[in-house]
Amino acid sequence: MEKKSSPFSLIMQYAGSHNNKYVCSVILAIISVVCGMVPYFAVAKMVTAMTGHEDKDLSFFAGWCTAAAVGYIAKGIFNGISTGVSHTATYLTMKEIRLKLISKLTRMPMGTILGSPSGYYKDVIVDRVEGIEVPLAHLLPEMTANVLAPVLMLIYLFTLDWRLALISLITIPVGMAVMSTTMKSYGENYGKSVEIGGRMTNAIVEYMGGIEVIKAFSQSKSSYEKYETAVNDNAAFFYGWMKSAQWAMSAYNAITPSVLLTVLPFGFLFYSSGSLSAESFITMIIISLGLLEPLIAAMNYTDNIARVGTVMGQINDVLASPEISRTDKDRDISGNTIEFRNVTFSYDDEKEALKNVSLLIPEGKVTALVGASGSGKSTVAKLIAGFWDVNDGELLIGGRNVRDIPLEVQAGRIAYVEQNNFLFDETVMENIRKGRASATDEEVIAAAKAAGCDEFIRGLDKSYHTVVGSAGGHLSGGERQRIAIARAMLKDAPIVILDEATAYIDPENEAVIQNAIAKLVQGKTVIVIAHRLSTITDADNIIVMNDGAVAAHGKHKELLENSELYRSMWQAHTGTKGGAAE
Amino acid sequence: MISAFRKIWDFAGSEQKNIKTSIVLALLHSVFYALQFAAVFVILKALTGEDRSKINALYAFGIMAVSVIGRIVLNTYSQLQRVHAGYFMVANKRISIGNKLRTVPMGYFSKNNPGQMTAITTTTLTDVENTAPVVLVTILGGFINSVVFALSVLLFDRRIGIIVFIGMAAFIWTTSLQEKHSRKGAPERQRAQETVVEKVLEAVQGISVIKSFHLGETSDSAVKSAIEKSCDKNLAIEKQMTPYQIFQQIVLNLFAVIIMIVSAVLYKNGSMELADAVMMFVASFMVFEQMKSAGISIATLRIAESSIDKANETDNVPVMDEGGKSISLTSHDIAFENVDFSYGERKILDNISFDIKEKTTTAIVGPSGSGKTTMCSLIAHFWDVNSGRVTIGGNDVREFTLDSLMKNISMVFQNVYLFSDTVENNIKFGFPNATHEQVVEAAKKACCHDFIMQLPNGYDTVLEEGGTSLSGGERQRLSIARAILKDSPIIILDEATANVDPENEDRLQAAIEALMEDKTIIMIAHRLKTVRKADQILVLDSGHIVQHGTHAELEKQEGIYSRFIRQREQAESWHIAGQNA
């Protein structure tokens, strides 16, 4: 019971101000149920009059038929409004949940979000939440109505004849007993079904994701066979499971609502022994017909409860995940010197990505971070950019601990340029203007010129008004990168972080990108992560990272003399470097 | 509605017979359901006739027992047929999609994300599995049931029977009315929903941009207003639909009341017997039940229909004629003879001709968009040429089966795909019979051995799907090891894609050099060192070969190549100046 109640308390919590709508919907549903019982009483009245050979005139029948009609109409209207209100409350609740999730995203470490597959949050915010619409909208009013109606009718049956009323309940435990025979193996089968379904999904994902490789390596036959087997196994398993469980489900569905199975024979026995009047008996038959419909409907809700529960669990996982801890006081920083004091950081609480790192990045200088992959150089850059909070130690910008400055202030001082730059599904103009919302068109175009993208932008279908981004625009990686650089130029932030920004993303246009970057970094505090050591030999300071710690730092020449690690990196680099340096 | 049934029916394919059986069994099921009337009738007859003999109780119980047992048996088999149809028609569709992918032009996958197709094959088809057969059997079965009910009422009393039929017709009319209206709102609702998806994806993927450019508020408001708008749309549709839903509910019930009135009148004027009239009162509650549940399922029918439409999109994927022969080659000379190729309307290659001698290195140079990648992929028959021909060892690539062609070619892909299998099996993917020693040898040549040995289980470590646990360069080198083991005489590679892991550039270069030993090489070149060493250089510009020769020859000519060389020299010697410099 504990498990079943929790999704509802969660929903109530999210529904917030819409709770009264649900209450209203339930009340309407109850009214609808009561109205829906009127026709049964009307018919019972008419039939008992007929079988009792009372000589009623047509107006008697007309009266009760009208009552039945009014009951039906009222039932329809109240039920319709109840479902409508409940749907409204559900849509509003879904909206609240989505807005909560969205605002949660802004408080989570950026790194957590960027580290998840891009579809994950969309899946939770859009699809998962969508999935609760139908169960939630129908659950409360209909569940109430469908449980309440049989209960009310039963109470009435008990007032007519308690023995027969009790007997009418027999089919319920019998049906459940039959059903429970399959529940024993349910857990086991469910586990297996998840496994086999998962295997099929993996086979499909691999076959489709790897189809190029599969074809290129002439493995389409064997891979296809694997795929086919997984698909067939899945279908066969589910069918087999159904085959073993179906008869019990069918029995449950047939027996449980068949109250007539007991009411008819026992009622007749009571009648023939004289302990039950024909009138009461007929009334009870008619009323028990009314038990059927809601009982069948109520049976279908157990699934829905489970589904809502699962979804609420997933939503809660997101809402309960750790948040970035920053002050919300509006404080500014003076100066752009960056300092790490004994900083320790771990992505997963297992392996420390940075171990007790202390380093200084002076204002107005170019500092290069070098080291092997996994050495921690990217982590240093990401911490400066505010993707994560440090676990231990202090990160200071302009002499102030970043925990004491709002993330917006920190982010506002930094331009972070990486290989994969995100563009919004808007025009080129608007994408660049994101750098500074107040920039005029002329300023945007000037930034684009400086970043070397004016020319190709003018070659696009609608020039600066071409829509780019995920949906269309067919921009190459290098073109996207230059737009991102233009955006950063417009922002004119005092600290510039270049995260592998000069890598071979678009070799044809590498020189243009390099020129753009040279303009971007002029006069700034620059932190550059670069693989090609030759690009950073002139840096004011080079920090050599190794295994989450600072191994050495200094200028290129000093490091060549003092650091064996740097020397070997330099040799490896110059060994492969073709071209002018030779 | 009929078209939706048609779609499900066509989709069912070889499972149609199971659906048919299921519907027939559902029909029989309804006969047993209707037996309840007989039980009630026996009792009513006895009551109105003042017959108190206890045998009537036994009759009623007997009939009810037969009804229940019959329903259990028929429902079990009807459901099983239906479930079989559901699971296997979807399995068949999945298999046919998989089969189709074998004949899709290779190039299709470089242009289209396989994610879409994966989503259809997994999620969308699961929706079909869960909805289509249920809906078909419930609705068709429900309607047929109702007709059987109505017919039995008709036999019982013609006048009431006619009312039942009119009631059903009226219900179908209101249902189709409701259906029409809900269809009207659907596209708008869908669009609002799509906007939410777009904005949420933007807010998630662009989170670093949003934060660093202070876009928190504006972007938040974009997502929020999308969510608000989608909610408003839903509310508006709900409001609009409510009267129809009420109307639909009331219609059948009003006909139930009409049955009561007519029965009462007929009883009063003596043209209907007491027991019959009572029976009709009772029947008024049950006769429309099946119809109602069929009506409710129509909403699900719409879901099933749209899922099937989406699944059928996979039918539009292009296929290539796979009628090739298995050809084994003695020479690996490659030739383009007057090749034209367009992608859609856009002409990519225009009358291209050149020869590549076996065991030589050809470097392809040119600005982005000049057709370099397309030219390489035509060698592997990723696409069919529009005119002219591409030959290997004198045979047109179109004459090969894909397998016999690809045996000769290794491509170093832009996107390295690793399977969630062991490292060893990933390396020997193209050569399943390789021994462990051969695998290790290839891994050593590709500079993978060291990092593989550092994995928890060495060569037996199982990789995550897509190989995400490895760095870009490690994945790239594993794929090179795979190609080394495959040992194809022709190697096609793009130097830029081989540079995904700049930190280990030296090791990647060593791996590529190991792969290229003694092979026919076609590479899209970016490094000066590579072009200098190439046996021939093809310079492409807007789909034409504008220069052709060796480095020494081309260097002296003023043109794209000399510009390329100057740019590369500049780019490769570029560095970020210190601020004090």
Span A275-279, mean pLDDT? 90
Q: What integer pLDDT is reported at residue B190 of this predicted model?
A: 80
With an 8 Å Cβ cutoff, is B454 touching chain A? no
CA distance A241 to chain B (A): 10
> Do A301 and A433 belong to one domain?
no
Place A167 in a pLDDT band, splitting at 50, 70 and 90: very high
Share above pLDDT 70 across residues of chain B, in percent, rounded to a whole number: 93
> Does A316 score more than 60 pLDDT?
yes
Q: What integer pLDDT is reported at residue B561 of this predicted model?
A: 86
Give residues with Cβ within 8 angstroms of B234, minimum separation 6.
Answer: A87, A91, B189, B192
Give residues with Cβ within 8 angstroms of B331, minimum separation 6.
Answer: B358, B393, B394
Place A267 in a pLDDT band, splitting at 50, 70 and 90: very high
> Does A476 score more than 80 pLDDT?
no
Span B47-53, mean pLDDT? 86
Give residues with Cβ within 8 angstroms of A101, minimum separation 6.
Answer: A121, A124, A125, A129, A315, A318, A319
Q: What integer pLDDT is reported at residue A308 of this predicted model?
A: 77
> Do A436 and A303 belong to one domain?
no
A268, A298, A319 - which closes a domain: A319
Whole-angstrom Cα distance, residue A578 to residue A156? 94
For residue A401, what are the β-bridge partners? A396
Q: Of A151-160, A463-472, B161-170, which gets the smallest average pLDDT? A: A463-472
Whole-angstrom Cα distance, residue B386 to residue A425? 34
DSSP string for residues in B445-486: HTT-HHHHHHSTTGGGPBPPGGGTTS-HHHHHHHHHHHHHHH
Contact A538, B575 (CB under 8 A): yes
Q: State how far the alpha carbon of B129 is from the alpha carbons of A357, B90, B121, B134, B311, in Å.
A: 55, 6, 11, 9, 11
> Does B430 score more than 70 pLDDT?
yes
> Do A349 and A485 belong to one domain?
no
> Do A62 and A159 belong to one domain?
yes
- Nearest chain B residue to A263 by CA distance is B61
Check whether domain B326-408+533-574 has CATH 3.40.50.300, yes or no = yes
> Do A50 and A150 belong to one domain?
yes
> Do A292 and A351 belong to one domain?
no
> Do A156 and A268 belong to one domain?
yes
Q: Residue A137 domain-assigned?
A: yes
Q: Residue A234 domain-assigned?
A: no
Q: If residue B8 lies in a helix (H) or strand (E), which one and from where to where?
A: helix B2-12
For residue B539, what are the β-bridge partners? B365, B547
Whole-angstrom Cα distance, residue B202 to residue B209? 10
Give the residue from A68, A510, A177 showing the smallest Cα distance to B368. A510
Cβ-Cβ contacts under 8 Å, B117 against chain A: 208
Torsion over CA: B333, B339, B341, B346 (sign): positive
CB interface of B with A, residues 128-187, below 8 Å: none
Inter-chain CB proximity A220 and B264 less than 8 Å: no
Whole-angstrom Cα distance, residue B367 to residue B559? 12
Whole-angstrom Cα distance, residue B469 to residue B21? 50
pTM recorded for the entire structure: 0.78
CB interface of B with A, residues 181-200, below 8 Å: 193, 196-198, 200
CA distance B468 to chain A (A): 11
- Nearest chain A residue to B195 by CA distance is A126
Q: If residue A541 lies in a helix (H) or strand (E), which one and from where to where?
A: strand A541-546
Cβ-Cβ contacts under 8 Å, B243 against chain A: 80
In a 10 Å sphere around its CB, with 0-12 CB exposed, 13-18 middle and 19+ buried, how is residue A137 labelled?
A: buried
- Nearest chain B residue to A291 by CA distance is B285
Q: Measured between CB atoms, which of A216, A242, A408 is closest to B214?
A: A408
Whole-angstrom Cα distance, residue B397 to residue B395? 6
Contact A163, A270 (CB under 8 A): yes
Contact B545, B561 (CB under 8 A): no
Place B538 in a pLDDT band, splitting at 50, 70 and 90: very high
In a 10 Å sphere around its CB, with 0-12 CB exposed, 13-18 middle and 19+ buried, how is residue A552 labelled?
A: middle
Whole-angstrom Cα distance, residue A219 to residue A195? 26
Pairing of strands A392-397, A400-401: antiparallel
As given in the structure block, the two tokens for residue A425 are 């599904």
Place A460 in a pLDDT band, splitting at 50, 70 and 90: confident
* Amino acid letter for position B133: P
Q: What is the CA radius of gyration of chain B?
A: 36
Q: Of A407-421, A536-550, B439-453, which gets the smallest average pLDDT? A: A407-421
Could you read off the pLDDT of B79-104 as tens digits, one per residue? 999 999 999 999 999 999 998 888 88
Q: What integer pLDDT is reported at residue B96 of this predicted model?
A: 92
Say how far residue B105 (Cα) sits from the centre of its chain: 17
Pairing of strands B520-524, B361-365: parallel
Q: How many domains does chain A have?
A: 3
Better-predicted residue by pLDDT, B498 or A557: A557
> Do A342 and A486 belong to one domain?
no
CATH of the domain at A46: 1.20.1560.10
Q: Residue A91 domain-assigned?
A: yes
Contact B341, B374 (CB under 8 A): yes
Q: What integer pLDDT is reported at residue A472 of this predicted model?
A: 44
Q: 3-class SS at A313? A: helix
Whole-angstrom Cα distance, residue A253 to residue A182? 14
Q: Of A20-24, A121-125, A537-541, B218-222, which gets the smallest average pLDDT? A: B218-222
Span B232-242, mean pLDDT? 86
Highest mean pLDDT among A10-19, A79-88, B410-419: A79-88
Share above pLDDT 70 across residues of chain A, in percent, rounded to a whole number: 93
> Do A478 and A516 belong to one domain?
no
For the beta carbon of residue B353, count every other beta carbon within 10 angstroms.
11
Torsion over CA: A195, A200, A202, A203 (sign): positive
What one-character DSSP code corresponds to residue B503?
G
Q: What is the dihedral of CA A386, A387, A391, A394, to 10 degrees?
A: -20
For chain B, which residues make up each domain, given as ranges?
Answer: 1-156+300-319, 326-408+533-574
> Does A579 score more than 50 pLDDT?
no
Contact B539, B551 (CB under 8 A): no
Q: Residue A175 domain-assigned?
A: no
Specify the fold of B1-156+300-319. Answer: ABC transporter transmembrane region fold (1.20.1560)
Inter-chain CB proximity B281 and A508 less than 8 Å: no
Inter-chain CB proximity B68 and A470 less than 8 Å: no
**CA angle, corner A476, sides to A473 and A478, nearest 5?**
130
Q: Of B60-64, B191-195, B392-396, which gets the smallest average pLDDT? A: B191-195
Q: What integer pLDDT is reported at residue B215 of this predicted model?
A: 62
Pairing of strands B536-541, B520-524: unpaired
Contact B253, A72 (CB under 8 A): yes
For residue A257, what are the β-bridge partners? none
> Do A338 and A291 belong to one domain?
no
Whole-angstrom Cα distance, residue A126 to residue B241? 23
With an 8 Å Cβ cutoff, is B268 touching chain A? yes
Cβ-Cβ contacts under 8 Å, B571 against chain A: 507, 510-511, 514
Could you read off the pLDDT of B280-329 as tens digits, one per residue? 888 888 888 888 878 877 777 887 888 898 888 888 887 776 667 888 88
Q: What is the CA radius of gyration of chain A?
A: 36
A319, A345, A366 - which closes a domain: A319
Residue B398 main-chain phi, psi, to 5 deg? -70, -15
Q: Residue A189 domain-assigned?
A: no
Could you read off the pLDDT of A92-141 as tens digits, one per residue? 988 988 888 888 887 888 778 877 766 788 888 888 888 788 778 887 78
Could you read off the pLDDT of B539-567 as tens digits, one per residue? 998 889 999 998 888 888 888 888 888 88
Q: State how far the alpha carbon of B447 is from the alpha carbons of A179, B420, B424, in Å.
A: 60, 21, 14
> Do A483 and A497 belong to one domain?
no
CB interface of B with A, residues 57-96, below 8 Å: 57-58, 60-61, 64-65, 67-68, 71-73, 75-76, 79-80, 83-84, 87-88, 90-91, 94-95
Give the residue from B407, B430, B405 showing the smallest Cα distance to B417. B430
Q: What integer pLDDT is reported at residue A154 of this predicted model?
A: 87
Residue A395 main-chain phi, psi, to 5 deg? -115, 120
Q: What integer pLDDT is reported at residue A111 of this predicted model?
A: 78
Q: Residue A226 domain-assigned?
A: no
Span B129-149, mean pLDDT? 83
Share above pLDDT 90 across residues of chain A, in percent, rounded to a whole number: 19
Q: Measured between CB atoms, which of B403, B410, B567 is closest to A511?
A: B567
Instruction: Report chain A's terminal Cα–Cα distance, integer Å.
Output: 76
Better-predicted residue by pLDDT, B245 or A272: A272
Place A6 in a pLDDT band, splitting at 50, 70 and 90: low
- Give the number of A-B residue pairs with CB atoms closer than 8 Å: 471
Residue for token pair 């969205």: A102
Q: What integer pLDDT is reported at residue B289 of this predicted model?
A: 81
Q: What is the dihedral of CA A46, A52, A56, A62, to 10 degrees?
A: 10
> Do A504 and A459 belong to one domain?
no
Span A285-304, mean pLDDT? 74
Contact A140, A22 (CB under 8 A): yes
CATH of the domain at A406: 3.40.50.300
Q: What integer pLDDT is reported at residue B258 of this predicted model?
A: 95
Whole-angstrom Cα distance, residue B204 to residue B217? 14
Contact A122, A80 (CB under 8 A): no
Q: If residue A240 lies in a helix (H) or strand (E), which one and from where to where?
A: helix A220-255
Range of the domain at A285: 2-169+259-319
